[in-house]
Amino acid sequence: MKSVTIQVFGRVQGVGFRYLTKMVADKLGIKGTVANLNDGSVYIEAEGPEDQLNEFIHAVKMSPSPSGKVDRTVINEQPSQNFSGFRVTN
């Protein structure tokens, strides 16, 4: 089990990014949370098996929303948060 935080910059708010990120997470069995930040970026905490998590990160970098555009991501490993599912906040 691996756990990361991802901050996503670009056209990622107002384009369905959080909800489509949740769909990708649910499909891959990733647990965590996704939220909009006041600076216009999206913040994700995600954990799961390394292969699935790597696939999730790739999908986020490509933008799960066809209307979105990811310019940059900042990814950091973190201790496991033991999430019970994946949820969209704020």
Q: Which of 18, 72, 76, 82 is catalytic?
A: 18
- The owner of tokens 């790597």 is 54
Is 87 annotated as catalytic?
Answer: no
Catalytic site includes residue 54: no
Pick from 25, 79, 82, 84: nearest CA to 55: 25
> Which candidate in 11, 36, 54, 87 is catalytic?
36
Contact 22, 68 (CB under 8 A): no
Catalytic residues: 18, 36
